[in-house]
Amino acid sequence: MKRKEIIIVGGGTAGWMTANILAHSFKEANVSISLIESENVPVIGVGEGSTPALRNFFDLLNIRESDWMPACNATHKTGIQFDNWSTVKGYQKYFHSFPSMVDQQTQNHFIHNAQLRAAGINLPANPSDFYLAAKIAQENKKPLANDNFPFEIDYAYHFDSNLLGKFLQNLAVNSSVNHVIGHVNDCKINSNNDIEYVVLEDDKQIHGDLFIDCSGFKGILINRLQGVEFVSYEKELFNDAAIAISTPLSSDSIKAQTKSTALKYGWAWQIPLSNRIGNGYVYSSKYVNKESAEQEFKEFLQVDGKELSVRHLSFKLGRLNKHWQGNCLAVGLSQGFIEPLEATALLLIQQTVGKFVDAYQQGNFNSQHRDNFNQQINNDFDGIKDYIVLHYTLNSRQDTEYWCDNRDNLAHMSNRLQQLILGWQTGRDISKLVVKLGLHNHYPISSWYAILAGYGYFPSDLRATEQSAYIDVLPKTQEFLRRCALNFPRYNN
């Protein structure tokens, strides 16, 4: 049987993650994998947070944390702390935890309280108070328990994206991925809408059976194919620019959390790595110019007047209608981008490549299978997009038009989000509603509770008459979490 040639264009995180997954998945198959990377186009070089799914990626490749984390200045992440998105008393901050086995009981308490609070009963329902993940982050601890503690807790990572790219490159090259340095200038598309070969700067042609476009925002291959269109999210999500600045690590600053603080025209991330803090301001250029945004961000970071390297980036939010067209698959920024509020880009890369490998191994190459695949990936993107839209809808800030416009943008949100909000406001059991609307396919039910309750987005009246009939389980929960947290070591000791 003729050897299949897979050509990946692009050596950013998407390209190298894809190369590793394919090299692993096809190690028994008669397949050759080459990755072409331009020296003239730098990688995006931001993207320092993940979801817990990144653990599965390293597990698949049999790479231990001790192998890759020090090489990428990586730290653990148990969730995201949202500050100042809400002005509701008691809810100006909340923590969105990655829930794990140990949270079963306390999570039930949280959902119980949140559901009753939505029905008008005065119970505390800030998710930060109910999860071990939040407690561990608050106490500057690592999510790695000592041997006495019988539960594992789930977590994700922070990392230096340039170092991660280098690490993955070495790994792939050692797994026999052929690394070609060259700038792709053109590609030849045949009458079936398939790519036959790409043409490099020196006119060299590289032929392949399957082309994977990991070339970043430009999507230099996929966008050449007929039938591929960009579906914009700009009506639902206003941000289109970011500023990135690194600052030194202070001795006590490692918390296993990404911090997301709402500013006047967007939000700022703060990500602790083992050697520095990665900071960024994601904002909408329709509401503020880049100079004012930079000024505001520097004041927030308290680095005004200091010599620091400042990067400005712009982006458009949305996705392709077809991620797999003909013999070309788009992966990474070439297939779409949702803003990094929930750090989901690497997750989408994993999902895309994982689902593609399943289809490829079954030999499913007809247009019906491609359509099914594309529909699944579109659902993955749109589901995450919905969750991110909800952050903006639920904000209660009054300080700028940006926040008010975001809140008032209900007409552009998806129908299922509108139904969810209506259900919540009318005190319905949203566990069932989330499932009915299919939202649990993208975030667990507890995360939908966390976001609604985390913003203090409750009906204003405490309409229940029998307030005293309900027992507040929070004190017991907190005592349980305090004792659990004793089993985890602190950073910096």
Ligand X SMILES: Cc1cc2nc3c(=O)[nH]c(=O)nc-3n(C[C@H](O)[C@H](O)[C@H](O)COP(=O)(O)OP(=O)(O)OC[C@H]3O[C@@H](n4cnc5c(N)ncnc54)[C@H](O)[C@@H]3O)c2cc1C
CB nearer to ligand X: give 345 or 394: 345
Residue 436 designated active-site: no
Q: Which residues bind ligand X (CB under 6 A)?
A: 9-15, 36-38, 41, 43-44, 46-50, 161, 183-184, 214-216, 220, 242, 280, 313, 315, 332-334, 340, 343, 345-346
Catalytic option among 4, 77, 188, 355: 77
CB of 213 to ligand X, least distance (A): 9
CB of 167 to ligand X, least distance (A): 14
CB of 48 to ligand X, least distance (A): 5
CB of 95 to ligand X, least distance (A): 17
Q: Is the dihedral of CA 60, 145, 277, 395 positive or negative?
A: positive
CB nearer to ligand X: give 328 or 346: 346
Whole-angstrom CA distances from 276 to 72, 164, 165, 464 are 12, 15, 18, 49
CB nearer to ligand X: give 341 or 484: 341
CB of 96 to ligand X, least distance (A): 14
CB nearer to ligand X: give 331 or 481: 331
CB nearer to ligand X: give 96 or 109: 96
Q: Active-site residues: which are they?
A: 77
